[in-house]
């Protein structure tokens, strides 16, 4: 640590007092102090000692490190912490780039390192600028394959393992709903290439950030240097392009840049929560171009996939979770994988906290809130429709005032199920069943509760309907 502050001091001394570089370095010194407190002296010695900070530019801090290996390590382990500490001192900063100083530069010798970093910027190679931080857990090894995602996985793996842009898969367009693994697969491609073909340059960036950079360049009439930056990029991945959109002229330029990259045989990987043809606010021509390569869908999860993912996560965390708990979660949380993981984490965290083993009952308790939120997605209309279908009555009779039993009973069952499966209040339920009073709803619920006790065929009907609705 001493060495480093010494070397920084040297460079600080030659800078004027009000230099922005000086200011940046002073902040960096403070950041280092925080990091030392958080991670210990040893970590700072081995990883952060040789890092140099360059002046920041449009909200981005640039760190310069001697090797690719260090770059990757710092990006995955410390970049987020550095950014958040930095933001506490300067809230105009929103991202961090970690660059590798060129080998040429290293040959110049250690003195060169103390020079103004602006000088060095020109030597920087490779330009990993803009690549967002990659999550170290998002690898192919950690990706569980099942029917819904096997095609997308294979397509992503093919891109990651081909030495050049993958034939017939350029661009690779990953599409699927929220939390189904698009980002995971993109990071996995990046990790795989960084590990196995380190000479290839991979950029992973959100569509929003990409567009922001793009529009800024456009505004500054700097589009040439924008394109220039991509010359050294072999694989460009843009996540969540459903957020792209904009003025015609912007799209026009974007389209050209995009075409140029493909013409130069750069691999593009794009993701969106919908298919190219469903992207709003994007010109037809661009939409169709996005679908020219390979469009790989990630479909909603199946029970088997959800169970497989839970088993693997529990194993990764080295926690013993009873299989009935995993089955319960896989059965109950069907929306997406992010929520599934969240639920498992909650259960594990809770058992750690109270120091008790994980049980099915405990899990049901903990997740009551979460499940309730999930059950909200069952609508009254769905319940009314299913119940009407089941009893062969008209949907409109769910709202009618007819009292004959063959209509009134199904209506009461529908009210009962609405109370059980949704968050609606009694008066609201009354309103949605043709403007009835809440006492009518209470009466319906009591009647059905009583009938469930007394009559098996009613109990069976209610159980079946409630299973179908969930
Ligand atoms: P998306 O980008 O499609 O919204 P993510 O890639 O962020 O979804 O995935 C959400 C979470 O689910 C992440 O934590 C990811 O690791 C996990 N996940 C998704 N698919 C899988 C899978 N097949 N195997 C293991 N984990 C997965
Ligand atoms: Mg995502």
- The per-residue pLDDT string of the chain (470 residues; one tens digit each, 9 = 90 and over) reads 333 333 333 333 344 555 666 788 888 888 888 888 888 887 777 788 888 887 666 667 888 888 777 787 787 778 878 887 887 788 777 677 788 776 433 323 333 333 333 323 322 233 355 677 888 889 999 999 999 999 999 999 999 999 999 988 999 999 999 999 999 999 999 999 989 998 898 999 988 888 888 888 888 888 888 877 777 789 999 999 887 766 777 777 777 878 888 888 899 999 999 999 888 778 888 888 888 899 999 999 999 999 999 999 999 888 999 999 999 999 989 888 999 999 999 999 989 888 899 999 999 988 887 766 655 578 899 999 999 999 999 999 999 888 888 999 999 999 999 999 888 889 999 999 999 999 999 999 999 999 999 999 999 999 989 888 87
What pLDDT score does 175 carry? 95
Alpha-carbon distance 423 to 377, whole Å? 10
pTM, two decimals, is: 0.59
Q: Contacts by 196-201 with C-beta closer than 8 Å and gap 24+? A: 196/161, 197/163, 198/68, 200/234, 200/235, 201/126, 201/127, 201/128, 201/232, 201/233, 201/234, 201/235
Atom of ligand 1 nearest to the CA of 273: 3
What pLDDT score does 11 carry? 37
Q: Relative to the alpha carbon of 137, which ligand is closest?
A: 1
The SS3 call for residue 284 is helix
Atom of ligand 1 nearest to the CA of 176: 3
What pLDDT score does 240 carry? 92
Sorted by sequence, the CB contacts under 8 Å of residue 328 that are 6+ apart come out as 360, 363, 364
Cis peptide before 126 (omega within 30 of 0): yes
Atom 1, ligand 1: residue with shortest CA distance: 179
Atom 20, ligand 1: residue with shortest CA distance: 181
What pLDDT score does 372 carry? 66
Q: Measure Cα distances from 379 to 354, 359, 409, 464, 465 in Å.
A: 36, 31, 20, 17, 14
Atom 14, ligand 1: residue with shortest CA distance: 338
Test site for ligand 1: of 137, 183, 184, most ligand atoms within 8 A of the Cβ: 184
What pLDDT score does 114 carry? 39
Atom 11, ligand 1: residue with shortest CA distance: 338
- CB 368, CB 384: distance < 8 Å: no
148 ligand 1 Cβ < 6 A: no
Nearest to 431 by CA among 447, 418, 448: 418
149 ligand 1 Cβ < 6 A: yes
Atom of ligand 1 nearest to the CA of 240: 2
Nearest to 239 by CA among 282, 209, 266, 284: 209
Bridge partners (DSSP) of residue 174 are 271, 296
Alpha-carbon distance 413 to 423, whole Å? 16
What pLDDT score does 153 carry? 98
Test site for ligand 1: of 181, 186, 189, 339, most ligand atoms within 8 A of the Cβ: 181
What pLDDT score does 244 carry? 75
309 ligand 1 Cβ < 6 A: yes
What pLDDT score does 103 carry? 41
Atom 26, ligand 1: residue with shortest CA distance: 143
Alpha-carbon distance 27 to 40, whole Å? 19
């Amino acid at each position: 640590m001493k060495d480093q502050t010494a070397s920084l001091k040297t460079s600080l001394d030659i800078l004027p007092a009000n230099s922005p570089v000086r200011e940046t370095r002073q902040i960096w010194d403070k950041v280092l102090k925080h990091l030392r407190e958080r991670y210990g002296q040893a970590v700072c010695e081995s990883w952060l000692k040789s890092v140099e900070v360059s002046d920041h530019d449009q909200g981005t801090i640039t760190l310069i490190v001697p090797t690719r290996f260090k770059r990757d390590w710092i990006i995955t382990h410390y970049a987020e912490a550095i950014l958040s500490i930095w933001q506490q001192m300067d809230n105009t900063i929103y991202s961090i780039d970690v660059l590798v100083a060129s080998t040429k530069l290293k040959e110049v010798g250690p003195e060169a390192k103390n020079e103004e970093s602006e000088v060095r910027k020109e030597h920087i190679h490779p330009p990993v600028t803009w690549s967002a931080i990659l999550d170290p857990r998002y690898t192919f090894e950690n990706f569980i394959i099942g029917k819904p995602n096997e095609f997308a996985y294979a397509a992503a793996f093919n891109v990651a393992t081909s030495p050049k842009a993958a034939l017939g898969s350029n661009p690779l367009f990953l599409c699927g709903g929220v939390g189904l693994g698009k980002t995971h697969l993109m990071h996995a491609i990046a990790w795989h290439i960084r590990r196995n073909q380190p000479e290839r340059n991979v950029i992973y960036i959100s569509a929003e950030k990409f567009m922001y950079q793009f529009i800024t360049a456009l505004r500054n009439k700097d589009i040439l240097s924008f394109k220039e930056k991509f010359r050294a990029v072999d694989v460009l991945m843009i996540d969540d392009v459903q957020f792209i959109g904009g003025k015609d002229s912007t799209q026009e330029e974007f389209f050209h840049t995009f075409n140029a990259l493909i013409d130069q045989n750069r691999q593009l990987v794009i993701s969106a929560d919908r298919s190219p043809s469903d992207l709003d606010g994007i010109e037809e021509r661009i939409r169709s171009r996005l679908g020219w390569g390979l469009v790989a869908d990630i479909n909603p999860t199946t029970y088997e996939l959800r169970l497989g993912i839970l088993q693997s996560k529990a194993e990764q965390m080295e926690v013993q979770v009873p299989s009935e708990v995993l089955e319960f979660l896989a059965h109950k949380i069907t929306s997406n994988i992010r929520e599934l993981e969240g639920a498992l984490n909650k259960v594990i965290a809770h058992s750690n906290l109270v120091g008790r083993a994980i049980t099915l009952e405990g899990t049901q308790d903990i997740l009551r809130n979460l499940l309730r939120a999930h059950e909200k997605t069952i609508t009254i209309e769905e319940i009314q429709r299913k119940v009407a279908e089941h009893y062969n009555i008209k949907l409109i009779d769910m709202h009618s005032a007819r009292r004959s039993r063959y209509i009134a009973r199904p209506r009461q069952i529908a009210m009962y199920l609405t109370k059980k499966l949704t968050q609606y209040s009694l008066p609201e339920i009354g309103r949605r069943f043709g403007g009835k009073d809440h006492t009518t709803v209470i009466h319906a619920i009591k009647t059905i509760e009583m009938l469930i006790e007394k009559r098996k065929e009613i109990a069976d009907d209610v159980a079946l309907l409630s299973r179908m609705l969930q």
